[in-house]
A and B are shown apart, each in its own frame.
Chain A
Amino acid sequence: MFRFGLKPLVFVASLAPAGWLVWAILTGNLSANPLSDLTNETGIWALRFVCITLAITPLRRVTGWNQAIKFRRMTGLFAFFYGTLHFLTYVVVDRFASLVDFPDGYFAWSTARHLGAAIWEDIYKRPFITIGFTAWMTMLPLTLTSTAGMIRRLGGRAWNRLHKLVYATGALVVVHYWWLVKADISRPAAYGVVVALLLGSRLYWARLRTARATSAAPATATLQRSR
């Protein structure tokens, strides 16, 4: 059922925003500043997929629908996909386009060098870019270790620990969004609430587990003494 039904469906649905953007560019259905829309939309979809990915474990715990876990890798990879599109859009639309001088043409070594310097300068100088770039960087190792082979090689425990990095991704992306808006923080704040709830639920379950473990501990001790 998952292989031939729900999973391909979720895959296609996850590609829809990208498809819609391509369609909107080709038909001129974006605003008077389509390049800015492209940057914003890819970014917001990266954030949405980070939220969706973070929502899967809580969803599983609340509903008991354990199969939900089967989508987590895919939604996580889509978060990286949209995050990468967002980063590349920024590189081309913002950094490349603002070079102004292209002494040896658009596709030249000198242009590439200037572009690299312009990206680095921005990441270094502008805190919200620094945070955004860091958020993207946190997704990189998670993407690289997303295959079954990598899980095996790392071992479940180490893999799990590494993939807790996604919590940082969630927080960083919200901070990045918060810092870039001009005045109205209502949208980043709403996403902030979502991410905080999703991360907070994990804290709650972690405490519940510790509570259970400690209440179970004395019983084990008595058992050992009686032996």
Chain B
Amino acid sequence: MLIKHASDIRSSDITNQKLYLNRREFIRAASGTAAAVATGLALGDAWVEAATPAAHGRKLEGVKKSSFSTDEKQNKWEEITTYNNYYEFGIDKDSPSMLARNFKTEPWTVTVDGECAKKGSMNLEDVLKGETLEERVYRHRCVERWSMVIPWIGFPLANFIKKCEPTAKAKYIEFQTLNDGKQMPGLRSSVLRWPYVEGLRMDEAMHPLTILVVGLYGEVLPNQDGAPLRLAVPWKYGFKHIKSIVRVKFVEKQPLNTWQDQASNEYGFYANVNPTVDHPRWSQATERRIGEFLMRKTLMFNGYGDQVASLYNGMDLRKNY
């Protein structure tokens, strides 16, 4: 290939300035682009309309009821499986229901490392070994002002933590979501810094309300809800409930969770449901239960104050939002 030096380029080879500055052409092209962008936007919005509820999966055996369950009216399977914030499968609420359909959850490995004695890889069967599954019907409050009542199936995270034998240095636990661009089309967008990271203080993680979830409505957890293994911390906003966990790390310093990393003025580490601390752009005093018209008052710690308020004694929850 012949590479011409600047001196070799004759002035006649340089695009005529008049042509170059033919702005009418430029604007014609620009308005064409604008029209194309507009059409693209319209189509892009339209194609995501066809949300599909998850197909029913395998029934889970030997599930016990729990006294931690609420007896409020449960949201429908259709609602819980078509209205998901799971950005690895797209930013629209209904895109995970379509894009996670072929997500492969078997085999599944969880890597354990950091400040603990039992480092290494565990497959999902090992994680579940010896655990009695419980149905926990929890209120689920999203930071976006909507909520659901969801019959999760899972077991206390504390049990899993004990298996890992954390050292005295383990002050926090950090979780990571799978980061597989081949299976998760949402990862192509740089909307968040991947992989998705969440964390809890050790006492929060050991709290009996905190569970690892493997099922929903008595069945294996649907992909769009974070299969095969997700977290539920019912007194915290939904984004703390990390999905499709592949890594658990015990750490000394407070982890930087993904949404705090994205906008630290709006989302903090603690993310406790708190009606008295507004999101900068909206009030958190009320919430819409999916399926209802009138909103309801949001409860402190999402109504789990009796069990968890003592974890935050002496802490300024306005600062530690």
Contacts and interface: CB of A to CB of B under 8 A. Distances in A.
Contacts of B144: 182
Nearest to B46: A20
B275 to A, nearest CB: 11
Contact of B295 (A51, A62, A98, A193): A98
Interface string B257-295: 000001100000000000000000111011010110111
Interface in B245-267: 262-263
A210 interface: no
B82 interface: yes
Interface string B2-43: 000000000000000000000100011011011101101110
Interface in A169-227: 179-180, 182-184, 186-187, 190-191, 193-194, 197-198, 201, 204
B83 A33 contact: yes
Nearest to A127: B281
Contacts of B34: 55, 193-194, 197-198
B281 A180 contact: yes
Interface of A: 29, 31-33, 35-36, 44, 48, 51, 55, 58-59, 62, 93, 97-98, 100, 126-128, 179-180, 182-184, 186-187, 190-191, 193-194, 197-198, 201, 204
A33 B293 CA distance: 10
B146 A33 contact: yes
B41 A190 contact: yes
Contacts, number: 89
B296 interface: yes
Given A31-B82, A126-B282, 9 more contacts: A31-B83, A33-B83, A33-B146, A59-B31, A62-B27, A62-B31, A100-B296, A127-B281, A193-B34
B295 A97 contact: yes
B297 interface: yes
Contacts of B192: 183
A35 B45 CA distance: 17
Contacts of A193: 34, 37
A201 B290 contact: no
B93 interface: yes
A58 B83 contact: no
B311 interface: no
Contacts of B262: 183
Nearest to A28: B78
B83 A32 contact: yes
Given A128-B281, A204-B23, A184 B31 contact: no
Contacts of B37: 190, 193-194
Contacts of A126: 281-282
A51 B38 CA distance: 9
Contacts of B31: 55, 58-59, 62, 197-198, 201
**Interface core residue of B33, B192, B285, B293 (most chain A CB under 10 Å):** B293
B286 A98 contact: yes
A197 B288 contact: no
Nearest to B191: A184
Given A126-B281, A126-B282, A32 B38 contact: no
A160 to B, nearest CB: 22
29 contacts: A31-B82, A31-B93, A31-B94, A32-B79, A32-B83, A32-B291, A33-B290, A35-B288, A36-B146, A36-B288, A44-B45, A48-B42, A55-B31, A97-B293, A100-B297, A126-B281, A179-B281, A180-B281, A183-B87, A190-B40, A191-B41, A193-B34, A194-B34, A194-B38, A197-B30, A197-B33, A198-B34, A201-B27, A201-B30
